Structure 1
Amino acid sequence: MPAQLARYAMAVVLDLLRNDQRPRHPEKAHRPDNPIQRKPDWIRVKAPGSPGWNATRAIVKEHGLVTVCEEAGCPNIGECWEKKHATFMIMGDTCTRACAFCNVRTGLPNALDGDEPAKIADSVAKLGLHHVVITSVDRDDLADGGAMHFFRTIRAIRERSPATTIEVLTPDFLRKDGALELVVEARPDVFNHNMETVPGNYLTVRPGARYFHSVRLLQRVKELDPTIFTKSGIMVGLGEERNEIVQLMDDLRSADVDFLTIGQYLQPTKKHHEVKRFVPPDEFKTLETTAYSKGFLLVSATPLTRSSHHAGEDFSRLKAARLARLAPANA
């Protein structure tokens, strides 16, 4: 009997380890509950489960990869995975920051997987991706914030799938000298860094970041390589005012950012920042019109817009918009 109990206990432990039962957000346990509001009709999406979704999921699981689609609970996962589009999240599933909006686990991350760049490249090739998005958790524990890992991943994809265009969605590399320069040296086609919200919300929504550092990061990309498209995104419904959004647009245009995405914030759990308001679709259309008037090459503003949603199609539109803008100068 003791031997049977020991085997049973070991089986339970192994099952817990396999399914990773660690609390996802222990650092948020002390926060008061914010009731989750019922979503309006315009937010609803179809549940995943199509054959294409299953095929993408199988490739991701086969290589032991992490996707932001799953970790952040993206509402578009069914649509994107059905089309074999996935946003790969490198450097693990544990972030060193505890942003109030984010559903990614916070804690002390594991050591980097040196084979991960090759695994990502292999998955990109198997999925036959024409355009891939690579993002990551914040790795404040690393001397370069993970910049070299981005560099190696971009280079691995280029070697395995030279025709694939690459978009990176990076952390801010705060206080990591030389990190941004290393990522730009690898020459991604699109460099995305999300502002997430207006500056007045940073203390409560994105406390580990600095608004003007993020603006400067995007500006610096253009200074280092003007051919790289730059991109940023924000969420609405966090209590921001319209004039604050317009000022953020101006700040991004002063940094020569090409592409702006605006989507509705959705609250992951009761311990996350509350949704102050569900913004109706017509207001998103007004924000899109305003952003285009500021000079962005491309704007995506809908309730379900996310940074990586339709990224491949958007890249084609970005190239066309740049060519159209340059055409009069070349005439």
Structure 2
Amino acid sequence: MSTKIKPVVVAAMRTPQGKRNGMFSSTRGEDLSIEIINEVLQTTEVEPKEVDDLVWGCALQRGEQDNNIARIIGLMSSLGESVPATTVNRWCASSMQAIMTGSDAISAGQRECVIAGGVEHMTRVPMDEASSFTKIHPEFMQKYNIFELQMGMTAEAVAGEFNISRMDQDLYALRSHEGANSATKSGKFKEEIVPIEVEGEIKDEDEGIRENTSIEKLEKLQPVFRGDGTVTAGNSSQISDGAAVVMITSDSFAKERGLEILAAIDGHTVVGVDPRLMGVGPIPATQKLLSRVDKQIGDIDLVELNEA
């Protein structure tokens, strides 16, 4: 029986995260992606001809993000014509799917080096234009109330189902902003953020961190999605513009080239849940993955979780 090839991460970078109508409003998503891909190639000194594939995640694949944006990005970057590219979509987990797709190809021995990541530019390709309710299958509309599937409404549903109070949500949001601000001030994000030049100015910090927020300020905000709701602009994640990238290789590829191994990809999984309560998805996914890799939650000392 053949030995499974271990996929490893040898580079991980991102742009700063911009707010909607913020610092990246005049910069296209392709250009944000090109910057970080070129930086990965320069940092690792991996030649474009050694890259087997570019896998790029994008949820809102229309307008500027249409037409297999991954291939457009690849052709405009240092990768050039010889590196094929595909765009994948698993909504908020699209970039994670790109990484899973790339790592699976490496594990199977079909690829040696893959660049994976994704982009979302919610200023230039806004979410509120993403769905035309008139085009949704009528039988689907009968099964689900489409308005209940909007993210804010699913958040309200999760809060109600699990008795998560407004105060708990506000306190969590406050902690999140305080943690992000502290990490920024201490330089913890410096190595992963690729500075982006916009109209002669260098942008190298996330734009949406509310440094001066407080529980008193959060308490004053009104619910956004339901009059009697608990989800506000203050305890919701922001609408952002940004891109992120990793280079995944086989363990042998990395060692032969003297590349620093940042992490090994030991496993991944996906699950489906009631879309009206989609925010609970990480719970069964985590349980399933821990079982698959024979670990307990106590074995994990760092968790990165999408707060949207």
- Superposition TM-score tier, normalisation by shorter sequence: under 0.3
Q: Which has the higher helix share?
A: 1
TM-score w.r.t. the length of structure 1 is 0.25
Larger RCO (CA under 8 A, 6+ residues apart): 2
